[in-house]
Chain A
Amino acid sequence: MANLNEIDPNGHAERIGRMERDGLLTASQAAQLRESVQPRGAEDITTSLRARWPARWIGVFLVAIAVVALGAALTGSGGGPTTVQDVSSALNQPGGVGEMNATVSKLIAVAILLIVPLLLWAVLHNSLVAKEENVFEAWAQTESNFQRRADLVPALVESVTRFIQHESETLTDIAQERSQATGRLAQAVDELINTQKQAAEVLRANPELLIENQEKLAQLFAGQTSVGRSVGNLFAVVEAYPDLRSADQFLELQAQLEGTENRINVARQRFNDAVGDFNGTMRKLPWSLVASAGRFQRKAYFQSEEDARRAPDINFN
């Protein structure tokens, strides 16, 4: 029998179900929220990108070269055992090349012509792979921060919607102004659920080649920016409610969301740095030759300048 933690490790399904039962969310909002917090499949985004042919073939080539070199060395030594060793043929004669030196020369020639370039190729290839790995790691960090924020949203929604319900039930003679503010709060929650769902869809729709497609990555960034903006907007509306704003539990949630927002910014910058390093190296000689033969793809950036200016200014203080 499946463990409850395996089915619902973060307790989202249980929380959202509870909110729906308590009338805090409509069926449609619950469905949207449920969908938005589904983690992306466990498939490793880097697996398909890592499967590159040259690494394997370079290995095969190196083995083949080693076999050829060994063969040349063995055949070059010539002759069977003799009772009395006649070394005269192996001695260098004036103006001639001895048999032993000829073998060594062949080996050196093979090494210089084949092994050294291949080793050089392998070194360049590996340096590109290492830089690409940095990009994947930075991407994984960014993605996990998106998920971290998505995981916090249901708790935020529950906290605010419970407060709205409490306000509506206890203040029967609720003033017009207060009632409008509660409406704004409900609207902000609705907007957050919506943007969160849309952002999750973008992330799920393009899991594999997202970081190699500037347009898709821009879409993702726009979606995640909207989520950040919606969270910021919700907190701005909450400012009108000192009781909610100053509650320890709410402050805790605020701190976690603000921390996550900062982590997203840091991860985004580190991702861009890693991409810049990889893309820059890929364009330089001799890496560009290795990159084109190895089918390395240029990686996309999170747009920084203009988008950063439009990025949500989440200041919960």
Chain B
Amino acid sequence: MRQISTSTKRLTIALVAAIIVVGGLSVVRELNAPPELVEDDAALMSPEERAFLAEFHRFLTKDHDIDYRVITVKDSGDIDQFAVKRFEKLFAKSSRSATGRGLLLVVDPVQDRVRLEVSQTLEGAFPDAFIAYVEQRQMVPFFRTGRIADGVLASTELIAMRAQNATRNAGFEDEPWATTSAGGGAVAAARIGEGPEQIPVPPSPATAPPTNTPQQALQAYFDAMGARNASPDLAFYTPATRQMLSGWTITRAQMDSVVKTYRRCNAEPVKSDPTSSLAVIRYPIAERSCAPFFFQNIDGAWALDLTIMQQAIRFGRTNAWRFDQSVDHPYRFAFADWRFDPSGFPSRAR
């Protein structure tokens, strides 16, 4: 009887000790756990969207040492002050960047405002005007249709591109004293759920631009993007492309980005299929951010086939294009002389 009582006592002590140890460890783990990259207190995103965004931002830290956090909050009060104080709190203790490169996006659906706060180390690469451009010309158009995560993601793409350029050119100004925010960044009306933005369509020329060759069709496309013409009904799109674009959010920043990217690209001669009904304009492998364009010949005029491009072409973190190998498409004939790695990146000529 006495023996049973002793073993019970021992068992109880062991259990209590185990509970204390496990509890203590979980508290320690909680205290040491890195803060989340996306804190969605206002519940504007699905768990999948949050996870995807966090993953994307982790790559931004890995590639450019930029710690980009996102907070949605139900009511931030003065969003400018909220952002700068939260920035101090978050980045002073747990910055993931070794060089103090921090970004904090605050989305406040109650006040319908968004603010992107920038650490002083990033002010040179990301001046206020750039941040305002990212917000107003790229992020907010998605917010207008209720696509919060997509808007943030689209802004991250621009930030990553800018970071790449900064790395290629003068680099970042990494100063140990400049890891906090001095109030840099920009605030904008978020316009959540206001409906798609109506980008004014520039007046059409008296005669439609000729599209007798794929090059002419491509030039007409670049001209339209340069004029920020987001209309889906342009003559140089295939009917399927027009249908696809009619439901899309096309931002001014995306159109600007097309023009800026392809300004540096050197097109190779057009490659046509044996029936001359399909054509491809591609760029040298070394020009990794210059994705190829696909064309269809419809009644003697060449039209841009963005639908297949949208299905078959993907862009990596460094903005290099690749084929989605799971998508079969009729334009592969133009790449018979190239090799592709298993991920679909063109590696070298055969």
Contact = CB atoms under 8 A, between A and B. Distances in A.
Interface of A: 141, 248, 251-256, 258-260, 262-267, 317
A260 B189 CA distance: 18
B182 A252 contact: no
Contacts of B131: 255, 259
Given A256-B127, A258-B128, A317-B188, A251 B183 contact: no
Find the residue from B80, B128, B187 having the highest chain A CB count within 10 A: B128
A258 B187 contact: yes
Contacts of B182: 141, 263, 266-267
Contacts of B127: 256
B84 interface: yes
Interface string B287-327: 00000000000000000000000000000000000000000
B31 interface: no
A263 B186 contact: no
B56 interface: no
A251 B136 contact: yes
Query: Which of A253, A254, A262, A263 has the most C-beta atoms of chain B within 10 angstroms of its own C-beta?
Result: A262
A259 B128 contact: yes
A254 B135 CA distance: 13
Contacts of A263: 182-184
A194 B132 CA distance: 28
A141 to B, nearest CB: 7
A314 to B, nearest CB: 10
A259 B183 contact: yes
Given A256-B127, A317-B188, A317-B189, A266 B183 contact: yes
Contacts of A252: 129, 132-133
Contact of A265 (B132, B181, B183, B184): B183
Contacts of A260: 128
Contacts of B184: 259, 263
Given A265-B80, A266-B84, A317-B189, A255 B132 contact: yes
Nearest to A137: B177
Nearest to B140: A317
Contact of A258 (B81, B113, B181, B186): B186
B133 A251 contact: yes
Query: B129, B136, B188, B189: which has the most chain A beta carbons within 10 Å?
Result: B129
A251 B84 CA distance: 23
B201 to A, nearest CB: 14
B contact face: mostly helix, strand, loop, or mixed:
mixed
A141 B113 CA distance: 27
A256 B129 contact: yes
Contacts, number: 53
Question: Of A141, A260, A266, A267, which is in contact with the most chain B CB atoms at under 10 Å from its CB?
Answer: A266
Interface in B76-90: 80-81, 84
B80 A251 contact: no
Return the 5 tightest CB-CB contacts between A and B, nearest first: A259-B128, A255-B132, A266-B183, A252-B129, A263-B183
A98 B228 CA distance: 97
B185 interface: yes
Interface in B146-163: none
7 contacts: A248-B133, A255-B128, A258-B128, A259-B128, A259-B132, A262-B183, A262-B185
Nearest to A252: B129
Given A251-B133, A251-B136, A265-B80, A259 B185 contact: yes
A253 B132 CA distance: 10
Contact of B183 (A253, A256, A267): A267
Contacts of B129: 251-253, 255-256
A259 B186 contact: yes
Contacts of B81: 265
A28 to B, nearest CB: 31
A232 to B, nearest CB: 14
Contacts of A248: 133
A259 B185 CA distance: 6
A305 to B, nearest CB: 15
A259 B136 CA distance: 15
A267 B183 CA distance: 8
Contacts of A255: 128-129, 131-133, 186
Contacts of A141: 182
B50 to A, nearest CB: 27
A265 B184 CA distance: 11
A3 to B, nearest CB: 22
Contacts of A259: 128, 131-132, 183-186
Interface in B187-231: 187-189
B129 to A, nearest CB: 4
A262 B189 contact: no
B189 A256 contact: no
Contacts of A254: 132
Contacts of B136: 251
A262 B132 contact: no
A151 to B, nearest CB: 14
Nearest to B183: A266
A221 B187 CA distance: 24
Contacts of A266: 84, 181-183
Interface in B12-29: none
A111 B294 CA distance: 88
Nearest to B186: A255
Contacts of A264: 183
Contacts of B188: 317
Contacts of B84: 266
B91 to A, nearest CB: 14
A267 B136 CA distance: 26
A258 B132 CA distance: 10
A312 B336 CA distance: 64
A96 to B, nearest CB: 61
B128 A317 contact: no
Contacts of B113: 317
A262 B80 contact: yes
